[in-house]
């Protein structure tokens, strides 16, 4: 009851004087911290998600027909395998190279489905080889059923989301529009968090036959042995005529270079947000110090040393920034899904999985940064307040 007030309590009470001003400043800092957290979380999350997508492809190198590498990379990660066709015979050329462990051909075909969505949409089918593809994708597991075994059968395996969207279970039929061919669903994959979730897999031979693409593939997935020099192999593969070699390392680089533009933009926004927050904090605290000019003089006449006043004002800034930082980190945690959605709309390509990873170490890092902002912003107002001479305030009311 009669315990002297701590400097922190005094500082906190001082901030309560102008509640609206303190609250607005706090919101400003909070928004800046939110942007910062989301940006850093995006930085971590995007690469993790991209790496996961790439790892889950099951192959390290993709061979497509010659074309735009960006297009190839994007299509590949979105579940496609290129728009152009290569002769299937390229497999026999590829397997001759040392260091190649497995090769699997793929054929992507798409048709317009008038019953998809409200005004129709594109349905894509990936033709895969039942002998080699499941081996490369050994990590995929089934919700129902299993892979098709007949290379010429009219069977399909559906990714989790594709099955959910079409409301299909094993034993159900799916119809390829335009072609009027029915396939029996023999397997539904478990959710993998990759592009496989939305894919419908068909035996490649059947797909080639029905779409009149016999002897053609859109891509070859190549698994390289662990001991092989992947860069050397890529260079050798370029000796093959009319092929585009897309390595996962290249894909990663390509995508990251595309994303870097967006990142620069977001970093710029974050820096501006930080600058605005700093100026906002300086303004708020300085205004508060100016308003308390006489009171600070009285505090000094009561025995407060310049260092005490400096500490009091600095503490006010730090409290404001820490509360704002906590608000921002809380927003980042709470609104991660919305942020994810907004960022996805900005990017040319977004991998599956969570794009914005907000975790405890990141939250702590942001709090440290915001604390740093507080310490820097508070320097000038605290220095100004510490220099107030008691006489200056008292003389203003003297005779």
Partner 1 sequence: MAAREILLKANHVRKVFRRGSEEIAAIDDISFTCRRGEFVSFVGPSGSGKTTLINILGCLDNPSRGTVSVGGMTVFNDTTRLSEGELTRIRRCYFGYIFQKFYLVPTLTVMENVLLPLSFYRKEGAAADALPLLNFLGLGQRIHHRPAELSGGEMQRVAIARALINKPEIVLADEPTGNLDTQRSREIGQILRHLNRQEGVTVLLVTHNPLLAAVAQRTIILRDGRIVT
Footprint on this chain of partner 1 (rule: CB under 8 A): 1-7, 10, 13-14, 16-17, 294-295, 298-306, 308, 389-391, 394-395, 397-399
**Of residues 5 and 175, the one with the C-beta less far from partner 1:** 5
**Of residues 231 and 305, the one with the C-beta less far from partner 1:** 305
Cβ atoms within 10 Å of 310's Cβ, excluding its own: 20
**Of residues 376 and 394, the one with the C-beta less far from partner 1:** 394
**Of residues 344 and 395, the one with the C-beta less far from partner 1:** 395
**Of residues 141 and 396, the one with the C-beta less far from partner 1:** 396
As a whole number of angstroms, the distance between CA 331 and CA 32 comes to 11
- Paired residues of 87 in beta bridges: 216
As a whole number of angstroms, the distance between CA 145 and CA 169 comes to 9
Question: Closest separation between CB of residue 399 and partner 1, Å?
Answer: 5
Question: Closest separation between CB of residue 375 and partner 1, Å?
Answer: 21
Residue 146's H or E segment, with its range, is none
**Of residues 71 and 392, the one with the C-beta less far from partner 1:** 392
Residue 395 corresponds to which tokens in the numbers above? 């003389």
Find out whether 65 and 107 touch, Cβ atoms under 8 Å: no
Question: Closest separation between CB of residue 315 and partner 1, Å?
Answer: 12
Question: Closest separation between CB of residue 312 and partner 1, Å?
Answer: 9
**Of residues 5 and 342, the one with the C-beta less far from partner 1:** 5
CA–chain centroid gap for 126, Å, is 26
Residue 98 corresponds to which tokens in the numbers above? 């040392």
What DSSP assignment string belongs to 31-84? HHHHHHHHHHHHHHHHHHHHHHHHHTTS-SEEEEESS-HHHHHHHHHTT---SS
As a whole number of angstroms, the distance between CA 315 and CA 319 comes to 6
Question: Closest separation between CB of residue 290 and partner 1, Å?
Answer: 15
- Paired residues of 63 in beta bridges: 220, 245
Question: Closest separation between CB of residue 310 and partner 1, Å?
Answer: 12
248 contacts: CB under 8 Å, gap ≥ 6: 54, 57, 60, 61, 62
Q: Give, to the nearest 10 degrees, the angle between helix 306-334 and helix 336-346.
A: 70
Question: Closest separation between CB of residue 306 and partner 1, Å?
Answer: 6
Question: Closest separation between CB of residue 392 and partner 1, Å?
Answer: 10
- The CA distances from residue 96 to 92, 99, 128, 237, 252, in Å, are 7, 9, 21, 10, 27
154 contacts: CB under 8 Å, gap ≥ 6: 181, 182, 183, 184, 206
Q: What CA dihedral angle connects 4, 9, 11 and 17, to 10 degrees?
A: -110
**Of residues 73 and 386, the one with the C-beta less far from partner 1:** 386
**Of residues 150 and 295, the one with the C-beta less far from partner 1:** 295
- Paired residues of 217 in beta bridges: 86
Question: Closest separation between CB of residue 325 and partner 1, Å?
Answer: 23
**Of residues 256 and 307, the one with the C-beta less far from partner 1:** 307
Question: Closest separation between CB of residue 289 and partner 1, Å?
Answer: 14
């Amino acid at each position: 009851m009669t315990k002297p007030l701590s400097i922190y309590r005094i500082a906190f009470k001082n901030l309560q004087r102008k509640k609206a001003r303190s609250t607005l400043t706090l919101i400003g800092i909070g928004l800046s911290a939110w942007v910062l957290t989301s940006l850093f979380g995006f930085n971590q999350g995007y690469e993790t998600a991209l790496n996961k997508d790439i790892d889950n492809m099951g192959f390290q190198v993709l061979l497509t027909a010659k074309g735009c590498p960006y297009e190839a990379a994007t299509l590949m990660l979105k579940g496609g395998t290129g728009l152009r066709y290569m002769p299937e015979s390229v497999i026999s050329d590829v397997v001759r190279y040392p260091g190649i462990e497995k090769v699997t051909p793929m054929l992507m075909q798409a048709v317009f489905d008038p019953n998809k969505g409200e005004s129709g949409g594109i349905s894509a089918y990936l033709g895969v080889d039942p002998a080699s593809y499941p081996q490369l994708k050994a990590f995929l597991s089934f919700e129902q059923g299993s892979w098709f075994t007949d290379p010429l059968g009219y069977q399909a395996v559906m990714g989790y989301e594709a099955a959910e969207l079409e409301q299909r279970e094993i034993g159900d039929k799916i119809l390829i529009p335009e072609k009027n061919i029915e396939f029996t669903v023999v397997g539904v994959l478990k959710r993998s968090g990759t592009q496989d979730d939305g894919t419908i897999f068909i035996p490649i031979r059947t797909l080639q036959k029905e779409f009149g693409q016999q002897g053609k593939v859109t891509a070859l997935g190549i698994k390289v042995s662990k001991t092989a020099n992947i860069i050397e192999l890529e260079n050798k593969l370029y000796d093959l005529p009319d092929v585009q070699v897309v390595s996962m390392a290249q894909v990663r680089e390509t995508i990251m270079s595309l994303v870097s533009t967006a990142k620069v933009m977001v970093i710029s926004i974050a820096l501006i947000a930080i600058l605005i927050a700093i100026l906002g904090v300086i303004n708020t605290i300085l205004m508060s110090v100016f308003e308390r000019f006489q009171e600070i003089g009285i505090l000094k006449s009561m025995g407060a040393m310049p260092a005490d006043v400096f500490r009091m004002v600095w503490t006010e800034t730090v409290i404001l920034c820490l509360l704002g930082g906590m608000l921002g980190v809380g927003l980042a945690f709470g609104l991660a899904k919305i942020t994810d959605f907004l960022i996805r709309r900005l990017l040319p390509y977004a991998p599956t999985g969570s794009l914005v990873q907000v975790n405890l170490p990141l939250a702590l890092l942001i709090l440290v940064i915001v604390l740093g902002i507080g310490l820097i912003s508070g320097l000038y107002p605290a220095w100004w307040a510490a220099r107030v001479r008691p006489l200056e305030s008292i003389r203003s009311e003297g005779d």
